Structure formats: structure tokens, C-alpha cells
Chain A
Amino acid sequence: MEAPSLLRLAAAGSVDDGKSTLIGRLLYDSKSLMADQVADAEVDLARLTDGLRAEREQGITIDVAYRFFATPERSFIIADTPGHVRYTRNMVTGASTADLAVVLVDARNGVLEQSRRHAYLSAQLGIRHMVACVNKMDLVDWDEERFRQIEREFGDVLRELGVEDAIAIPISALHGDNVVEPSENAPWYDGPPLLRHLEQVEVARDRNLDEVRFPVQWVIRATDYRGYAGQMASGMLRAGDEVVVLPSGERTTVERVETLDGPVEVAFPPMSVVVHLANDIDAGRGSMICGAETPPPVARRLDARLCWMTDAPLRPGARYQLKQTTRRVRASVESIDSRVDLARLRDGRPAAELQLNDIGRVHLDLATPIMAEPYTRNRVTGAFILIDEKSRDTVAAGTVLEAYEDPGPPTGPHSPGVIWHEPALPRRQRWSRLGVRGATVWLTGLPASGKSTIAEELERRLVALGRPAYLLDGENVRHGLSGDLGFSPADRSEHARRVASVARMFADAGLVTIVALVSPAAADRQWARQLHNEAGLEFIEAWVDTPLDECERRDPHGLYARARAGRLRGFTGVDAPYEPPMAADVRLRGAEESVEQSVERVISALP
């Protein structure tokens, strides 16, 4: 006989639908209930499951309780979730790990708003199997017409939610009809009783077995031993498989997969295993070992749904810690795009805040990327929580709708009323198809320090190496794009802003963008760096550090001479300051090293 498998289910319903009674009945009739837990089961099955003093006092279920029972075919973990609207967050908690949801409907009342909400939340949490238990059928004299009507209503709700596997069962939890044993009271019902259905429903297929995702939890080290320990999130992993380790992007193959009990031929979710890689690569907690063919995005921005779980409301601009798989990163709420209208089960209008038990759609900016993908595709890599940094509380449950590698709109001003369009083609896809890797090299230094000469040679060398490169010369940009600007500090700043913005777009497109610009203000260069960093793009500040007297000696266009003669005002190095970089990525000694040497040093700094 096959070893029994495990089914995790969530039971939900309105306050008086009889959910706790149903669970008590399942436990009692399947003989999983121990005599000391039965005070007077026939009288009060419901009280069996309300464990906290306050719950017994108030006669309601506040918190999720977990109940266990087993039959020879299967073991069950029931998350008994509170029905009251004030405890929606607990319903979400209970449903987050469930494979199947049982929604209670009172035969007298039909499908109420709360039943619809629970079905909606269950569907949002990725539960693909639902059972509507139409309870208290004895109170409507086992009227088939009444049952069929509820069955249709519920079916309509689920169809709209995209739940394919659904069944309605007429029951009486109190009397035990159709719970464990078939009922003689409903001869017109030819489906299985609830327990039989729970024993038979197949859920193993719900797991994503196609795309390998193995978040590294812990590195096991011992003498001559180094293995990556974790739990399979999705996919099937075998020795010899080609994998990519993210976020670093290194490729290698799987040497072996094992547990304490020995080698594992194929690892699949939810196995906890240890993976050994063929190459000695830099991976640790927070890395994810992924199938080389179908890696997930390395996301810096998320479009996500949040269930807000705390009293203090969520507002745009707030910062939290975000935990997803084995990564914890800082995240800020860029916008609240809508709040779900739980009466109509639709996304509503943009909202100023989310309150306790609200569900909303938000955009999140991540300080460090995570490997994430839509929850509908992967229930592990698509799930996250938000942790408040002050209270340290878990304040939200989140599911990913879309994960973007590309940053959103750059910070800074935008024209009134314009909307940012997400790129349809992700950067990484463009880069890998074209075999390019964009970045910006920003050459700063005094006039005549040799920026343009180095820049031109750098561009030639890169193109000769087969790397697309493009030189944005400060003077050339002043023909055209910056043609309306002069040389006042404000105009210089604006010029640098325009050049940086163009460089960012070029780098995003996959070009190594070479900027040759005096850019005397440290703040302007810092802004350009930030613009790139926020976009996840490499920015290399190369300081062409040629002494002033050498620049003046070169003076190819006679500009220093004109400035010294007082015929050119605001000339950098003469009567306008140059703020040298405090931490340039590369410092080129223009007077001491050859152009070729400088160019090689810049190239070796490129990603």
C-alpha cells in the first residue's frame, strides 16, 4: 500500500454557518477525536476547536487553529479560520498554506457576501480546489431545489474567479449527514460525502514541477564538504542538470543531490535536500539555484497584491523589510494603485492608504533585487511578507502579480499627467538575445585633461572587441539636445542631467555609453550615479586627473588663454571651481600614463 499523503485544507465560513461544528464532526466521526477533548460532543461540537479563553468566552473563533485527523488513505491538516470580517487577515493566514478550501454556506441564507469573499481570498491565495458545504440542509427539509440554486450561485462565483475544481455537497454538520457517511436524507445527491472527496482530490499536480527553483537556506560546511541546503520550491532537480545561480548569474551543473539518508535521484517540492554544484561558485543564503533554461526575473520592482494586517494604515512612501524565499530586502511602497472592493470582488480606485484587512494592489521598489515571479505561476517565489522595521511585526501578506527587472520611472520630475509604461521586453531578455551588456562610463575632468581622446579610443577598442559602445560627447550634446543651454552653474547642471538621462537609456538598451563631460559639480555626478544605480545599471566614474598646468599647457582650442585674458567667463579651472571626485571608480593619471593604458584600465573596470 502506498504511504498516506498529506492534504492541507482551510475551512472558512460566516459566523454562524457551522464551520467549527463541521470540523468537530469530521474529527469525531473519523475517530480522530480523543475522549478528553470531547466535553459533550453531541451538544457542542463547535467548542472543541475554540482553544483560547477569549474565544470560549465570546463564542467566536479569533485565531487560526490547526486540527489534525487521519484516515488510512490520507492525513489532513485543517486550518480552522475565523469567519468574522474583522479577522480577514487570519483567514488569509490559514489559506496561505492550504491546497483546498471548504467554504460553508448556510442553506437558509444562500451565498452571502462573506462566502463570496472567502472564495475570492482562497482563489487569490492560489487554492485550486474548493468545496461548498451547503450546511443545515435539515433546516430546509433537504429541499433539492434550494441546494441546486446555491450550487449554481456558488459555481458562478468560482467560474468568475477561475477556480476549475469545485463541488457542492449538501450536508448537516450537526447530524453528520454527508460528512463522513453518505446521507439517506438526500437521495437526489449522487456525489461523495465530504470526507470521501477530501481523500480523493489530487493536489500533487498543483505544484510547479517545470521550473527549478531552489532557494539556498544554509551552507553546510564540514571537512572537505560544502553543500547548499534548502527546500525545493518548484521543479525537479537531478545530478547533471544545468543550472544558473541567481542573482550572480553564474552557470554550472549539479554534481549531486542528497539528504542525510543518501543520494536523491530526483528532488521535487517540498523536499528538503542538499545540493552540490560542480564548480566552486559564490553562493550562500539568499542565492537561488534555478533551471538554466527558464530562470526567473531578478526583480527590482513588484506589482503585487497586499493583504494589510495591522492597525496603522499603509501609505505610499512607507519602507518595510520584505521577506521572500530566503531573502530579506528593504522595500518601499511606490504607489497604491487600487483597493479591492470586497463587496464586488474587483479592483477599485487608487487609494491613499490601506487599512487593517484591506486588500490592495501596490507597486514596490526593492533596494536589493529578489528572484520573484507571479504567484499564479509559483506559489513559493511569488509570495512575500512585509515586516515593520520599528514594531518588527508582520504587517502584510503579499502575492506577486508581476516582477520587473527593469526599474520604474526614474526619480525626479516628470511632465504633468504622464503615465509610465512598463517595457514589454525585459532588459535581461534583450541583453541576452543580443549578447550585450549595457553600462555607463562617465569621464570627468578639467577642460583639456584628455577626456575626449580617451573616450574616442575607448569607443574604438570596445567596438573592435564586439561590444556595442557609443560616445556621448558633452560638446556634441550641446549641439541639439542641450543647444538652449549656456554655461551658468544652473545650465551646466541641467546639461549634466540631460546627458545622464540619455546615458541611462542607452545603457538600458545595451550600449556601453561613454560620457565625456567636464561635469565640475560633484552633486551632478552623484545624481547621474544614483539614476543608474536605481535602474540597476553599472555606472563607472572615471576621473581624468591631469594637473591644471598640464591642461593649460595643452590648451588645444586656446580656451584657457581666453579665460586667463578675461574674455571667457565661468571657465572651469580658471574662474569656476572643479570639485574632484571623492571616490572615483577609476582614476586616470592623464599626465603620466598613455591613452592605451587608461583605456585598458577602464575596460577592466567594466562588467
Chain B
Amino acid sequence: MEISAPTLSQLRELEAESVHIMREVAAELERPVLLFSGGKDSIVLLRLAEKAFRPGQFPFPIMHVDTGHNFPEVLEFRDRRVAELGENLIVAKVQDSIDSGRAVEQGLSRNRLQTVTLLDAIAEHRFDAAFGGARRDEERARAKERIFSFRDAHGQWEPRAQRPELWNLYNGVLGPGETVRVFPISNWTELDVWRYIAEEGLELPSIYYAHEREVFERDGMLYAVSEWLRPSDGEVPKTVRVRYRTVGDMTITGAVESDATHPDAVIAETVATRLTERGATRADDRTSEAAMEDRKREGYF
């Protein structure tokens, strides 16, 4: 009788790949750091780090680039989660970059200013590798990015000079001042992330699930009314049942109407949707066709 070959489920195969990537970074780079936004992708990263290194400590600290315009639910979640893990948290504040004159506020969004704060923090702590939760399915410039994404001494990405990335053999050899961004969940989709959250029973900040919120509509997106963002003339605030698909700066992250109060309900809505999470809810990616490519070249996440 022929015995069928053992097979991992797609989700567990992705998990195994991500764990391998994290261990490679820990072994080959000197001072890695894990970038944590409080969003679902970086929450998955934390779980993957547990899978890779427990019962040992993480061989790297966790860093949050705080725009100062965060959802309070996310900050509360961040502090609680890091305390549970018993790991080190570094908070790099965009406000500090503004106060010191390193970054200048233009308009409402501090999204682009994060790059300055991020690069300064990487230099200050002499990090040579930074884990991020970016995925290739998010956006088309990301679809081309390597898992080990090389940055020059200015933190910049050169899409035409990416190192070839073959098999699972990552080249983490760096020169002075050079760094590498590492994306362990490059090959995951939004749906994979949600399925993993459901299978692993991961807790998320409450804003990911349906809740009543005062919002107003602008450019076809629903924005929360907050101290940083108020409706202009003609924009009528209303209370709607919404959830967030991504977590970013409050001024640019839009909500979607939803009744999903648990992961399986979100999965059902995700399967049915016809818009990517970035296209639906992120104003920063709507600026131009190459908005993400341009920001990545500058050193964005």
C-alpha cells in the first residue's frame, strides 16, 4: 500500500518559513530589533518570535515608533502585551524628532515623519536588522521586495539593486552603516494573518473588531473624530458600527463598516471583500500609483 507523504497545512508551512527567517537573523546579524506597531501583523510577529526562541528570551528588543497620534486602545494593548512577554520595549517618539527639529510637521499626517524617527532610532541603538510585518500581498512595490531587504547607509531601498534571494539562503552580510529590513511574513496574505490569529487565539487591540464610533466620511473613507482630526464644513459626524483593517496613525487610517466581533467573522468578511486593506483604509497609499515605492526608497518600513 502506498502511504501518502506527510504534508503541512499551508498556514503551518508559512509559520515554519517565518520561524526559520527569524532564527537566521538572530544567528547572522549582530543587533536585530523587532518593529512593533500594535497592528495585527506585528502581533503575529511577536507570536512567531515566541515560536522561534521560547523558552529562551528574544535575542532582540521590541521597538515602537510612536507617532503621538495613536489609538489609545493600541498603546494600552502594546504595554500589556510586552509586559506579558517579559521582553524589552523601546519607544521612539516622532514628537521628539519634531521637538529637536529633525522632523518638520507638514499637514496633519505624521506618517511620513516616522521615517526620520525610525532611522534615527536605528542609528542611535546601532541596530543592523529590523523585523517588520510587511507582506507582499499588500501593495505592488512590496510584491517585489526581498525578505531580507537591504538598506544603504542612509536607510534607503534601491529596488533595481536588490540582492538576489535564492532558496532559503539569506545574505545578511553588511558593510559599515548598512542595515537590513527583514519581513518574516512576506509570503502571508491578509487572510492568512486572520486565520493564524484565529487558530492561535491571539488577542488584538479592540479596534480590530466591530464597535460603535463617531466617524465622518472623507474621500470615500470613514475617519474617527479625534483631537487631531475633526470634520470640516459639510462633513457630518455620525455614529457607526465599524472596525479597522489596519492600525496606523489616527489621521490617515480609515474604518470599515462591520459587524464582525471575532476573528472568524472578520475572515468571512475578508473573503467577501474586493478591496485590499491598504486601498480601502490607508490614505497614505492613495497619493499616487508609486506612493509606497517612493516612501520605501526613503527608508519607510
Are B140's CB and A65's CB within 8 A? yes
Interface string of A268-306 (1 = CB under 8 A from B): 101110000000000001000000000000000000000
B residues in contact with A260, CB < 8 Å: 50-51, 54
B101 at interface by CB-CB < 8 Å: no
A residues in contact with B290, CB < 8 Å: 53
What is the CA–CA distance of A81 and B229 in the complex, to the nearest angstrom? 44
Segment 175-222 of A: residues with Cβ below 8 Å from B = 204-205, 207, 209, 217-218, 220-222
B236 at interface by CB-CB < 8 Å: no
Are B164's CB and A89's CB within 8 A? yes
Are A77's CB and B187's CB within 8 A? yes
Tell me the nearest residue of chain B to A53, going by C-beta: B290
Task: Give the most central of A68, A222, A380: most B CB within 10 Å.
Answer: A68
Are A34's CB and B275's CB within 8 A? yes
What is the CA–CA distance of A236 and B140 in the complex, to the nearest angstrom? 38
Segment 17-35 of B: residues with Cβ below 8 Å from A = 17, 19-20, 23-24, 26-27
B residues in contact with A272, CB < 8 Å: 15-17, 19-20, 23, 51-52
A592 at interface by CB-CB < 8 Å: no
B1 at interface by CB-CB < 8 Å: no
Are B189's CB and A392's CB within 8 A? no
From A91-99, A459-467, A509-517, A545-553, the one touching the partner chain is A91-99
Are B16's CB and A5's CB within 8 A? no
A residues in contact with B56, CB < 8 Å: 220-222, 225
B157 to chain A minimum Cβ distance, whole angstroms, is 11
Q: Looking at the complex, which one of B26, B143, B169 makes contact with A218 (CB distance below 8 Å)?
A: B26
A31 to chain B minimum Cβ distance, whole angstroms, is 8
Are B136's CB and A66's CB within 8 A? yes
A residues in contact with B141, CB < 8 Å: 51-52
A residues in contact with B126, CB < 8 Å: none
What is the CA–CA distance of A311 and B289 in the complex, to the nearest angstrom? 31
Q: Looking at the complex, which one of B17, B162, B191, B273 makes contact with A70 (CB distance below 8 Å)?
A: B191
From B4-12, B37-45, B104-112, the one touching the partner chain is B4-12
Segment 134-188 of B: residues with Cβ below 8 Å from A = 136-137, 140-144, 159-160, 162-169, 171, 173-175, 178, 186-187
Are A96's CB and B167's CB within 8 A? yes
Segment 48-87 of A: residues with Cβ below 8 Å from B = 48-54, 56, 62-68, 70, 74-75, 77
B215 to chain A minimum Cβ distance, whole angstroms, is 20
Are A36's CB and B8's CB within 8 A? no
B280 at interface by CB-CB < 8 Å: yes
Are B13's CB and A6's CB within 8 A? yes
A321 at interface by CB-CB < 8 Å: yes
**A271-B9 contact in complex given A36-B276, A51-B141, A52-B141, C-beta closer than 8 Å:** no
B180 to chain A minimum Cβ distance, whole angstroms, is 11
A105 at interface by CB-CB < 8 Å: no
Q: Looking at the complex, which one of A68, A93, A97 makes contact with B189 (CB distance below 8 Å)?
A: A68
B38 to chain A minimum Cβ distance, whole angstroms, is 22
Are A207's CB and B15's CB within 8 A? no
From A111-119, A381-389, A518-526, A559-567, the one touching the partner chain is A381-389
- Residues in chain B within 8 A of chain A (CB atoms): 4-17, 19-20, 23-24, 26-27, 50-57, 136-137, 140-144, 159-160, 162-169, 171, 173-175, 178, 186-187, 189, 191-192, 273-276, 279-280, 289-290, 293
Shortest Cβ-Cβ A-B pairs, 9 listed: A36-B279, A3-B9, A51-B140, A204-B5, A272-B19, A6-B10, A272-B16, A34-B276, A222-B55
Selected A-B contacts with CB under 8 Å, 15 pairs: A2-B9, A4-B9, A5-B10, A34-B275, A63-B144, A63-B162, A64-B144, A68-B137, A229-B23, A231-B16, A260-B51, A271-B16, A285-B27, A321-B173, A392-B173
